[in-house]
Amino acid sequence: MAKIAVDREHGLLTAEFSGLDKLWAIKSRLEVPLAHVRGATHDPGIAREPKGIRVGGTHIPGVVTAGRFRRDGERLFWNVRNPSKAVVIELADDEAYDRLVIEVEDPRATVALIEGVISRPPGGS
């Protein structure tokens, strides 16, 4: 599971992974400029979609999907054990990934946080 944080002052969205999630994903942290975040959705059904080719990480069907994947030219980062808590974060083309698929504690609150921040102009309240 990831902890998502938004730093408006530095214009960053951060996903922190801990415990076995770091091991499975071969990554402990992702940072993305807020200007490159297009949106976020709660999408439990994404776990049923094809994952593509695993580039690095772990994929044990029904248990865990974590790490880097490529599917139809799309670059994805996954870190999901419980699909009901999956949030999909769409990124701009100039990022290392096109989409992040990340399990979080409260998907609705995470989506609201991200959507609320990207809908406000910099310096807005």
Domains identified in the chain, total number: 1
Contact 108, 120 (CB under 8 A): no
C-alpha to C-alpha distance for 43 and 73, rounded to whole angstroms? 21
pTM of the predicted protein model: 0.92
Domain that holds residue 28: 2-119
Query: What integer pLDDT is reported at residue 119 of this predicted model?
Result: 84
pLDDT of residue 123: 58
pLDDT of residue 120: 75
Looking at the domain assignment, is residue 71 inside a domain? yes
Mention every residue, 6+ apart, whose C-beta is less than 8 A from residue 59: 51, 65, 66, 67, 69
Say if 91 falls within a structural domain.
yes
Asked whether residue 97 is assigned to any structural domain, the reply reads yes
Helix (H, G, I), strand (E, B) or coil at 108: helix
CB 86 within 8 A of CB 43: yes
Q: Which residues of the chain have pLDDT under 50?
A: none
Q: What is the pLDDT of residue 121?
A: 61
Residue 124 lies in a domain: no
Residue 107 lies in a domain: yes
